[in-house]
Structure 1
Amino acid sequence: MTTAVYFDLDGTLCSYAVPFEEQFESTVAPYGEPSEAAYDAYVDRLLDALDSCESEPYRRAFEAVTDRIPLDVTPETLAREYCEVEREASVVSADTRRVLDRVAKTAPIGILTNGDDRQQRSKLEHHGLAEAVDEVIVSNGVDVRKPDRRIFDLAKARLPADDYVYVGDSYEEDVLGARQAGFRTVYVTANDEPADVEAADAVVSSVGDLLEPESLPASIRPTFRTTS
Protein backbone atom coordinates (compact mmCIF):
# COMPACT_ATOMS: atom_id res chain seq x y z
CA MET A 1 0.00 0.00 0.00
CA THR A 2 1.36 3.41 -1.01
CA THR A 3 1.18 6.33 1.45
CA ALA A 4 1.80 9.87 0.19
CA VAL A 5 2.99 12.43 2.72
CA TYR A 6 2.45 16.18 2.43
CA PHE A 7 4.12 18.78 4.63
CA ASP A 8 3.20 22.38 5.40
CA LEU A 9 6.03 24.90 4.94
CA ASP A 10 6.04 27.91 7.31
CA GLY A 11 6.12 26.86 10.95
CA THR A 12 6.48 23.20 9.98
CA LEU A 13 9.43 22.64 7.65
CA CYS A 14 10.91 26.09 8.16
CA SER A 15 11.14 28.58 10.99
CA TYR A 16 12.48 32.13 11.10
CA ALA A 17 15.64 33.40 12.75
CA VAL A 18 14.29 36.98 12.72
CA PRO A 19 10.73 37.95 13.80
CA PHE A 20 8.46 39.17 11.00
CA GLU A 21 8.15 42.66 12.51
CA GLU A 22 11.94 43.04 12.50
CA GLN A 23 12.03 41.87 8.89
CA PHE A 24 9.50 44.59 8.05
CA GLU A 25 11.45 47.26 9.92
CA SER A 26 14.76 46.37 8.28
CA THR A 27 13.10 46.59 4.86
CA VAL A 28 11.42 49.95 5.46
CA ALA A 29 14.06 51.73 7.56
CA PRO A 30 16.44 52.66 4.67
CA TYR A 31 13.62 54.69 3.08
CA GLY A 32 11.86 56.27 6.04
CA GLU A 33 10.65 55.76 9.59
CA PRO A 34 8.69 52.52 10.13
CA SER A 35 5.82 52.77 12.57
CA GLU A 36 3.62 50.33 14.46
CA ALA A 37 0.56 51.57 12.59
CA ALA A 38 2.29 51.01 9.25
CA TYR A 39 3.25 47.48 10.28
CA ASP A 40 -0.31 46.73 11.37
CA ALA A 41 -1.60 48.03 8.03
CA TYR A 42 0.94 45.87 6.24
CA VAL A 43 -0.06 42.72 8.12
CA ASP A 44 -3.80 43.34 7.69
CA ARG A 45 -3.49 43.93 3.95
CA LEU A 46 -1.10 41.03 3.41
CA LEU A 47 -3.32 38.57 5.24
CA ASP A 48 -6.36 39.83 3.36
CA ALA A 49 -4.57 39.41 0.03
CA LEU A 50 -3.37 35.93 0.93
CA ASP A 51 -6.80 34.89 2.20
CA SER A 52 -8.33 36.07 -1.09
CA CYS A 53 -5.54 34.47 -3.18
CA GLU A 54 -4.82 37.85 -4.79
CA SER A 55 -1.87 38.30 -7.11
CA GLU A 56 1.22 40.13 -5.79
CA PRO A 57 0.11 40.16 -2.14
CA TYR A 58 3.36 41.71 -0.86
CA ARG A 59 3.11 44.63 -3.26
CA ARG A 60 -0.48 45.21 -2.19
CA ALA A 61 0.57 45.10 1.45
CA PHE A 62 3.31 47.68 0.93
CA GLU A 63 0.89 49.91 -0.95
CA ALA A 64 -1.00 50.10 2.35
CA VAL A 65 2.26 51.10 4.05
CA THR A 66 3.14 53.88 1.60
CA ASP A 67 -0.39 55.25 2.02
CA ARG A 68 0.36 55.81 5.72
CA ILE A 69 3.98 56.91 5.98
CA PRO A 70 6.18 58.90 3.58
CA LEU A 71 8.78 56.62 2.01
CA ASP A 72 11.22 57.37 -0.80
CA VAL A 73 10.60 54.04 -2.53
CA THR A 74 7.91 52.25 -4.51
CA PRO A 75 5.75 49.44 -3.10
CA GLU A 76 7.16 47.15 -5.79
CA THR A 77 10.73 47.70 -4.53
CA LEU A 78 9.71 47.22 -0.90
CA ALA A 79 7.92 44.00 -1.77
CA ARG A 80 10.92 42.64 -3.65
CA GLU A 81 13.37 43.55 -0.89
CA TYR A 82 11.13 42.26 1.87
CA CYS A 83 10.74 38.89 0.14
CA GLU A 84 14.52 38.62 -0.02
CA VAL A 85 14.79 39.43 3.69
CA GLU A 86 12.14 36.88 4.60
CA ARG A 87 13.77 34.19 2.48
CA GLU A 88 17.18 34.80 4.06
CA ALA A 89 15.63 34.69 7.55
CA SER A 90 14.03 31.29 6.94
CA VAL A 91 15.70 28.28 8.56
CA VAL A 92 15.39 24.55 7.85
CA SER A 93 16.91 22.31 10.50
CA ALA A 94 19.15 19.34 9.83
CA ASP A 95 16.57 17.06 11.49
CA THR A 96 13.88 18.31 9.15
CA ARG A 97 16.06 17.46 6.16
CA ARG A 98 16.67 14.01 7.61
CA VAL A 99 12.93 13.42 7.95
CA LEU A 100 12.32 14.41 4.32
CA ASP A 101 15.16 12.20 3.14
CA ARG A 102 13.85 9.25 5.15
CA VAL A 103 10.25 9.55 4.00
CA ALA A 104 11.29 10.05 0.37
CA LYS A 105 12.94 6.61 0.38
CA THR A 106 9.60 4.83 0.76
CA ALA A 107 6.82 7.30 -0.12
CA PRO A 108 5.92 10.09 -2.55
CA ILE A 109 6.15 13.40 -0.70
CA GLY A 110 4.89 16.89 -1.36
CA ILE A 111 4.61 20.36 0.13
CA LEU A 112 1.16 21.88 0.49
CA THR A 113 1.28 25.44 1.81
CA ASN A 114 -0.73 28.62 1.97
CA GLY A 115 1.03 31.74 0.74
CA ASP A 116 2.34 33.54 -2.32
CA ASP A 117 3.37 31.04 -4.97
CA ARG A 118 6.55 32.84 -6.03
CA GLN A 119 7.72 33.52 -2.48
CA GLN A 120 7.07 30.04 -1.14
CA ARG A 121 8.81 28.40 -4.06
CA SER A 122 11.78 30.74 -3.67
CA LYS A 123 12.21 29.52 -0.08
CA LEU A 124 12.13 25.93 -1.27
CA GLU A 125 14.76 26.66 -3.91
CA HIS A 126 16.87 28.59 -1.38
CA HIS A 127 16.98 25.57 0.94
CA GLY A 128 17.22 22.94 -1.78
CA LEU A 129 13.86 21.46 -0.83
CA ALA A 130 12.24 21.70 -4.25
CA GLU A 131 14.44 18.84 -5.46
CA ALA A 132 13.66 16.78 -2.35
CA VAL A 133 9.91 16.48 -2.98
CA ASP A 134 7.67 15.18 -5.73
CA GLU A 135 5.02 17.91 -5.69
CA VAL A 136 4.58 21.52 -4.52
CA ILE A 137 1.16 23.16 -4.16
CA VAL A 138 0.86 26.80 -3.02
CA SER A 139 -2.54 28.36 -2.35
CA ASN A 140 -2.09 31.54 -4.40
CA GLY A 141 -0.94 29.45 -7.34
CA VAL A 142 -4.12 27.35 -7.40
CA ASP A 143 -6.66 29.95 -6.14
CA VAL A 144 -7.75 27.99 -3.09
CA ARG A 145 -6.24 27.79 0.38
CA LYS A 146 -6.28 25.57 3.40
CA PRO A 147 -8.50 24.53 5.13
CA ASP A 148 -10.70 24.38 2.01
CA ARG A 149 -11.09 20.72 1.12
CA ARG A 150 -10.49 21.43 -2.56
CA ILE A 151 -6.78 22.08 -2.06
CA PHE A 152 -6.39 18.76 -0.24
CA ASP A 153 -8.32 16.97 -2.97
CA LEU A 154 -5.96 18.58 -5.49
CA ALA A 155 -3.03 17.28 -3.46
CA LYS A 156 -4.44 13.77 -3.71
CA ALA A 157 -4.87 14.10 -7.45
CA ARG A 158 -1.29 15.31 -7.85
CA LEU A 159 0.18 12.37 -5.90
CA PRO A 160 -2.05 9.31 -6.37
CA ALA A 161 -1.73 6.89 -3.45
CA ASP A 162 -3.74 4.50 -1.29
CA ASP A 163 -3.37 6.59 1.86
CA TYR A 164 -2.37 10.14 2.79
CA VAL A 165 -0.66 11.83 5.72
CA TYR A 166 -0.43 15.58 6.29
CA VAL A 167 2.07 17.24 8.64
CA GLY A 168 1.36 20.83 9.71
CA ASP A 169 1.47 23.34 12.54
CA SER A 170 -2.00 24.93 12.25
CA TYR A 171 -4.76 22.99 13.95
CA GLU A 172 -7.56 24.64 11.98
CA GLU A 173 -5.92 24.94 8.56
CA ASP A 174 -3.74 21.85 8.58
CA VAL A 175 -5.14 19.26 10.94
CA LEU A 176 -8.88 19.89 10.61
CA GLY A 177 -8.64 20.69 6.91
CA ALA A 178 -6.63 17.58 6.07
CA ARG A 179 -8.67 15.31 8.33
CA GLN A 180 -11.90 16.36 6.63
CA ALA A 181 -10.34 15.45 3.29
CA GLY A 182 -9.44 11.95 4.46
CA PHE A 183 -5.80 12.47 5.45
CA ARG A 184 -4.25 11.10 8.60
CA THR A 185 -2.64 14.01 10.40
CA VAL A 186 0.45 14.96 12.37
CA TYR A 187 0.11 18.17 14.39
CA VAL A 188 3.36 20.08 14.95
CA THR A 189 2.77 22.15 18.07
CA ALA A 190 6.15 23.94 18.26
CA ASN A 191 6.16 23.24 22.02
CA ASP A 192 2.81 24.94 22.59
CA GLU A 193 0.18 23.24 24.73
CA PRO A 194 -2.87 23.09 22.44
CA ALA A 195 -6.20 22.62 24.20
CA ASP A 196 -7.69 20.45 21.48
CA VAL A 197 -5.85 17.83 19.44
CA GLU A 198 -8.72 15.42 18.86
CA ALA A 199 -8.47 15.51 15.06
CA ALA A 200 -4.72 14.76 15.06
CA ASP A 201 -3.51 11.20 14.72
CA ALA A 202 -0.16 12.21 16.18
CA VAL A 203 1.16 15.27 18.03
CA VAL A 204 4.84 16.29 17.95
CA SER A 205 6.70 19.41 19.04
CA SER A 206 8.76 19.57 15.84
CA VAL A 207 9.17 17.74 12.54
CA GLY A 208 12.44 16.37 13.90
CA ASP A 209 10.46 14.30 16.41
CA LEU A 210 9.38 12.13 13.48
CA LEU A 211 12.90 10.69 13.49
CA GLU A 212 11.75 8.71 16.55
CA PRO A 213 8.73 6.90 15.06
CA GLU A 214 8.43 4.42 17.92
CA SER A 215 6.89 7.21 19.98
CA LEU A 216 4.15 7.72 17.37
CA PRO A 217 0.75 6.01 17.30
CA ALA A 218 0.65 2.73 15.40
CA SER A 219 -1.47 4.28 12.61
CA ILE A 220 1.30 6.79 11.77
CA ARG A 221 4.46 4.95 12.80
CA PRO A 222 5.18 2.94 9.61
CA THR A 223 5.17 6.08 7.45
CA PHE A 224 8.20 7.51 9.25
CA ARG A 225 10.08 4.34 10.15
CA THR A 226 13.49 3.88 8.54
CA THR A 227 13.88 1.01 6.12
CA SER A 228 17.40 0.15 7.29
Structure 2
Amino acid sequence: MSYALFDLDDTLVDAKAALRAWAVDFAAEYVSGIEDAASDVFALVDGAANWPGFVADARARYGMTAPDEELMAHVAAVYPGKFVLEQRVRRGLAELRAAGWRLGVVTNGSTLVQQAKVDSVGLRPHLDAVVDSEAAGHRKPDRRIFEIAADELGVELGPGGWMVGDRLDKDVAGGAAVGLRTIWISQGDPLPAGSTPPTHIAASITEAFAIVQASGPPRQS
Protein backbone atom coordinates (compact mmCIF):
# COMPACT_ATOMS: atom_id res chain seq x y z
CA MET A 1 0.00 0.00 0.00
CA SER A 2 1.34 3.42 -0.95
CA TYR A 3 1.52 5.96 1.84
CA ALA A 4 3.19 9.22 2.79
CA LEU A 5 3.95 10.81 6.13
CA PHE A 6 4.30 14.58 6.42
CA ASP A 7 5.76 16.90 8.99
CA LEU A 8 3.30 19.62 10.07
CA ASP A 9 5.09 22.87 10.97
CA ASP A 10 6.78 24.63 8.04
CA THR A 11 5.88 21.70 5.81
CA LEU A 12 2.09 21.56 5.49
CA VAL A 13 1.52 24.87 7.30
CA ASP A 14 3.61 28.02 7.79
CA ALA A 15 4.52 27.93 11.47
CA LYS A 16 6.75 30.99 11.40
CA ALA A 17 3.99 33.25 10.07
CA ALA A 18 1.52 31.88 12.62
CA LEU A 19 4.02 32.32 15.44
CA ARG A 20 4.66 35.94 14.50
CA ALA A 21 0.93 36.65 14.45
CA TRP A 22 0.46 34.96 17.83
CA ALA A 23 3.39 36.87 19.33
CA VAL A 24 1.60 40.16 18.58
CA ASP A 25 -1.42 39.04 20.62
CA PHE A 26 0.68 37.62 23.46
CA ALA A 27 2.81 40.76 23.72
CA ALA A 28 -0.26 43.00 23.81
CA GLU A 29 -1.76 40.89 26.60
CA TYR A 30 1.24 40.21 28.82
CA VAL A 31 4.30 42.32 27.95
CA SER A 32 4.92 45.98 28.69
CA GLY A 33 7.92 48.30 28.79
CA ILE A 34 9.82 46.57 25.96
CA GLU A 35 10.32 48.15 22.56
CA ASP A 36 8.93 46.00 19.73
CA ALA A 37 7.63 43.50 22.26
CA ALA A 38 6.08 41.23 19.61
CA SER A 39 9.45 40.67 17.93
CA ASP A 40 11.01 40.03 21.33
CA VAL A 41 8.35 37.43 22.16
CA PHE A 42 8.78 35.78 18.76
CA ALA A 43 12.55 35.48 19.25
CA LEU A 44 12.08 34.05 22.73
CA VAL A 45 9.54 31.40 21.73
CA ASP A 46 11.40 30.53 18.52
CA GLY A 47 14.47 29.72 20.58
CA ALA A 48 12.67 27.74 23.28
CA ALA A 49 12.80 23.94 23.34
CA ASN A 50 9.04 23.68 23.92
CA TRP A 51 6.06 25.70 25.15
CA PRO A 52 6.64 25.08 28.88
CA GLY A 53 10.21 26.23 28.30
CA PHE A 54 8.97 29.41 26.65
CA VAL A 55 6.58 30.07 29.54
CA ALA A 56 9.44 29.74 32.04
CA ASP A 57 11.70 31.99 29.95
CA ALA A 58 8.95 34.56 29.42
CA ARG A 59 8.12 34.68 33.12
CA ALA A 60 11.75 35.45 33.94
CA ARG A 61 12.22 37.96 31.11
CA TYR A 62 8.97 39.89 31.42
CA GLY A 63 8.27 39.53 35.13
CA MET A 64 4.87 38.00 34.45
CA THR A 65 2.72 36.94 37.41
CA ALA A 66 0.01 35.04 35.52
CA PRO A 67 0.02 31.31 36.40
CA ASP A 68 1.50 28.79 33.98
CA GLU A 69 -1.96 27.35 33.35
CA GLU A 70 -3.23 30.71 32.11
CA LEU A 71 -0.25 31.25 29.83
CA MET A 72 -0.49 27.77 28.34
CA ALA A 73 -4.24 28.24 27.89
CA HIS A 74 -3.51 31.41 25.89
CA VAL A 75 -1.17 29.43 23.64
CA ALA A 76 -3.71 26.63 23.11
CA ALA A 77 -6.62 29.00 22.51
CA VAL A 78 -4.96 31.61 20.29
CA TYR A 79 -1.91 30.15 18.52
CA PRO A 80 -3.61 27.38 16.47
CA GLY A 81 -6.07 29.92 15.10
CA LYS A 82 -3.24 31.84 13.47
CA PHE A 83 -2.50 28.99 11.06
CA VAL A 84 -3.74 28.94 7.48
CA LEU A 85 -4.01 25.93 5.18
CA GLU A 86 -3.06 27.10 1.71
CA GLN A 87 -5.24 25.90 -1.14
CA ARG A 88 -2.26 24.27 -2.85
CA VAL A 89 -1.74 22.06 0.22
CA ARG A 90 -5.42 21.17 0.48
CA ARG A 91 -5.48 20.33 -3.23
CA GLY A 92 -2.25 18.30 -3.10
CA LEU A 93 -3.45 16.14 -0.22
CA ALA A 94 -6.85 15.63 -1.83
CA GLU A 95 -5.26 14.52 -5.10
CA LEU A 96 -3.02 12.01 -3.33
CA ARG A 97 -5.91 10.50 -1.40
CA ALA A 98 -8.01 10.33 -4.56
CA ALA A 99 -5.15 8.36 -6.15
CA GLY A 100 -5.27 5.83 -3.31
CA TRP A 101 -2.47 7.07 -1.05
CA ARG A 102 -2.82 6.77 2.72
CA LEU A 103 -1.60 9.96 4.40
CA GLY A 104 -0.42 10.81 7.89
CA VAL A 105 1.19 13.60 9.87
CA VAL A 106 4.09 12.96 12.25
CA THR A 107 4.85 16.04 14.31
CA ASN A 108 6.92 16.96 17.35
CA GLY A 109 5.05 19.02 19.91
CA SER A 110 2.34 18.97 22.54
CA THR A 111 -0.87 17.08 21.89
CA LEU A 112 -3.05 20.05 22.84
CA VAL A 113 -1.37 22.51 20.49
CA GLN A 114 -0.50 20.26 17.54
CA GLN A 115 -3.90 18.59 17.33
CA ALA A 116 -5.59 22.00 17.65
CA LYS A 117 -3.58 23.24 14.66
CA VAL A 118 -4.76 20.31 12.56
CA ASP A 119 -8.39 20.99 13.45
CA SER A 120 -8.10 24.78 13.15
CA VAL A 121 -7.03 24.65 9.51
CA GLY A 122 -9.29 21.76 8.53
CA LEU A 123 -6.53 19.25 7.84
CA ARG A 124 -8.03 16.23 9.55
CA PRO A 125 -10.45 15.23 6.75
CA HIS A 126 -7.45 14.96 4.40
CA LEU A 127 -5.48 12.61 6.68
CA ASP A 128 -5.70 9.02 7.86
CA ALA A 129 -3.58 9.57 10.98
CA VAL A 130 -2.10 12.41 13.05
CA VAL A 131 0.67 11.40 15.45
CA ASP A 132 2.19 13.96 17.83
CA SER A 133 5.26 13.32 19.93
CA GLU A 134 3.65 13.98 23.30
CA ALA A 135 0.94 11.36 22.76
CA ALA A 136 3.41 8.96 21.17
CA GLY A 137 5.95 9.37 23.96
CA HIS A 138 8.72 9.71 21.38
CA ARG A 139 10.03 12.56 19.21
CA LYS A 140 11.35 12.49 15.67
CA PRO A 141 13.85 11.16 14.69
CA ASP A 142 13.16 8.26 17.13
CA ARG A 143 11.99 5.28 15.11
CA ARG A 144 9.16 4.53 17.55
CA ILE A 145 7.08 7.54 16.49
CA PHE A 146 7.26 6.33 12.87
CA GLU A 147 6.25 2.82 13.95
CA ILE A 148 3.21 4.26 15.73
CA ALA A 149 2.26 6.23 12.62
CA ALA A 150 2.61 3.14 10.45
CA ASP A 151 0.39 1.17 12.85
CA GLU A 152 -2.28 3.87 12.68
CA LEU A 153 -2.15 3.85 8.88
CA GLY A 154 -2.21 0.05 8.77
CA VAL A 155 1.03 -0.13 6.77
CA GLU A 156 4.54 -1.46 7.17
CA LEU A 157 7.55 0.84 7.30
CA GLY A 158 9.75 0.53 4.26
CA PRO A 159 10.38 1.81 0.74
CA GLY A 160 6.67 1.82 -0.09
CA GLY A 161 6.30 4.97 2.00
CA TRP A 162 7.57 8.53 2.09
CA MET A 163 8.54 10.95 4.85
CA VAL A 164 8.29 14.60 3.78
CA GLY A 165 9.52 17.48 5.90
CA ASP A 166 11.65 20.58 6.29
CA ARG A 167 14.05 19.20 8.91
CA LEU A 168 17.00 17.10 7.79
CA ASP A 169 17.84 16.04 11.34
CA LYS A 170 14.32 14.95 12.27
CA ASP A 171 12.27 14.25 9.16
CA VAL A 172 14.87 13.03 6.69
CA ALA A 173 17.21 11.27 9.12
CA GLY A 174 14.31 9.71 11.02
CA GLY A 175 12.49 8.61 7.89
CA ALA A 176 15.60 7.18 6.26
CA ALA A 177 16.48 5.23 9.41
CA VAL A 178 13.19 3.31 9.20
CA GLY A 179 13.52 2.61 5.48
CA LEU A 180 11.25 5.31 4.07
CA ARG A 181 11.94 7.32 0.95
CA THR A 182 12.41 10.94 1.97
CA ILE A 183 11.84 14.41 0.60
CA TRP A 184 13.48 17.46 2.12
CA ILE A 185 11.58 20.73 1.70
CA SER A 186 14.62 22.91 1.19
CA GLN A 187 13.01 26.31 0.51
CA GLY A 188 15.89 26.72 -1.94
CA ASP A 189 18.65 26.19 0.62
CA PRO A 190 21.66 24.01 -0.28
CA LEU A 191 22.10 20.64 1.38
CA PRO A 192 24.45 21.13 4.35
CA ALA A 193 27.60 19.04 4.41
CA GLY A 194 27.35 15.95 6.56
CA SER A 195 23.54 15.76 6.45
CA THR A 196 21.61 12.58 5.79
CA PRO A 197 20.93 12.84 2.05
CA PRO A 198 17.22 12.75 1.19
CA THR A 199 15.87 10.67 -1.66
CA HIS A 200 14.69 13.92 -3.26
CA ILE A 201 15.00 17.64 -2.57
CA ALA A 202 11.94 19.81 -3.22
CA ALA A 203 11.93 23.58 -3.14
CA SER A 204 8.30 23.65 -2.00
CA ILE A 205 5.50 21.44 -0.71
CA THR A 206 3.87 21.63 -4.16
CA GLU A 207 6.99 20.11 -5.71
CA ALA A 208 7.03 17.45 -2.99
CA PHE A 209 3.43 16.47 -3.75
CA ALA A 210 4.34 16.07 -7.42
CA ILE A 211 7.29 13.81 -6.57
CA VAL A 212 5.15 11.58 -4.38
CA GLN A 213 2.30 11.48 -6.88
CA ALA A 214 4.63 10.50 -9.72
CA SER A 215 6.48 7.84 -7.75
CA GLY A 216 3.77 5.28 -7.20
CA PRO A 217 4.75 2.13 -5.32
CA PRO A 218 8.44 1.17 -5.51
CA ARG A 219 9.50 -1.24 -8.23
CA GLN A 220 9.95 -4.81 -7.08
CA SER A 221 13.25 -6.39 -8.09
Name the CA shift for 1:70/1:158 in 2 (closer, same or farther; >3 Å).
same
* Range that drifts further, 66-75 or 17-26: 17-26
Q: Which amino acid aligns with 2:25?
A: S
Structure 1 residue runs without a partner (length 5+):
51-57
* Range that drifts further, 18-27 or 138-147: 18-27
- Give the alignment partner of residue 186 of structure 1, picking from 183, 197, 213: 183
**Rounded Cα–Cα distance in structure 2 between residues aligned with 1:115 and 1:199:** 25
Name the CA shift for 1:41/1:207 in 2 (closer, same or farther; >3 Å).
closer
TM-score (norm: length of structure 1) = 0.78
| Matching residue of 2:28 | 29
**Rounded Cα–Cα distance in structure 1 between residues aligned with 2:201 and 2:115:** 27
**Rounded Cα–Cα distance in structure 2 between residues aligned with 1:199 and 1:39:** 31
* Range that drifts further, 81-90 or 101-110: 81-90
Name the CA shift for 1:43/1:18 in 2 (closer, same or farther; >3 Å).
closer
What does 1:149-168 align with in structure 2 at a 5 Å threshold?
A: 149-161=143-155, 163-168=160-165
* Range that drifts further, 202-211 or 94-103: 202-211
Give the number of aligned pairs.
208
Residues 77-125 of structure 1: CA deviation (Å, up to 9, x unaligned): 2222233342232222111111110111211111111111111111110
Q: Percent identity of the aligned residues? A: 23
Matched position secondary structure for 1:14: coil
Name the CA shift for 1:38/1:221 in 2 (closer, same or farther; >3 Å).
closer
Residues 3-42 of structure 1: CA deviation (Å, up to 9, x unaligned): 1111110010000473636633530332332568877665
- Give the alignment partner of residue 103 of structure 2, picking from 93, 99, 109: 109
Q: Which amino acid aligns with 1:8?
A: D
2:192 maps to 1:195: yes
Q: Which amino acid aligns with 2:205?
A: V
| Matching residue of 1:12 | 11
**Rounded Cα–Cα distance in structure 1 between residues aligned with 2:21 and 2:94:** 32
Name the CA shift for 1:19/1:88 in 2 (closer, same or farther; >3 Å).
closer
TM-score (norm: length of structure 2) = 0.80
**Rounded Cα–Cα distance in structure 2 between residues aligned with 1:83 and 1:142:** 19
Residues 160-184 of structure 1: CA deviation (Å, up to 9, x unaligned): 3362111111011000110010111
**Rounded Cα–Cα distance in structure 2 between residues aligned with 1:157 and 1:29:** 43
2:66 maps to 1:73: yes
Name the CA shift for 1:195/1:59 in 2 (closer, same or farther; >3 Å).
closer
CA contact (8 A) 2:10 2:16 kept: no
Q: What is the Cα deviation at residue 132 of structure 1?
A: 1.3
| Matching residue of 1:208 | 206
CA contact (8 A) 1:17 1:90 kept: no
Deviation >4 Å, runs of 4+: 34-44
Residues 143-200 of structure 1: CA deviation (Å, up to 9, x unaligned): 1000111111222222233621111110110001100101111111122222357621
**Rounded Cα–Cα distance in structure 1 between residues aligned with 2:9 and 2:63:** 31
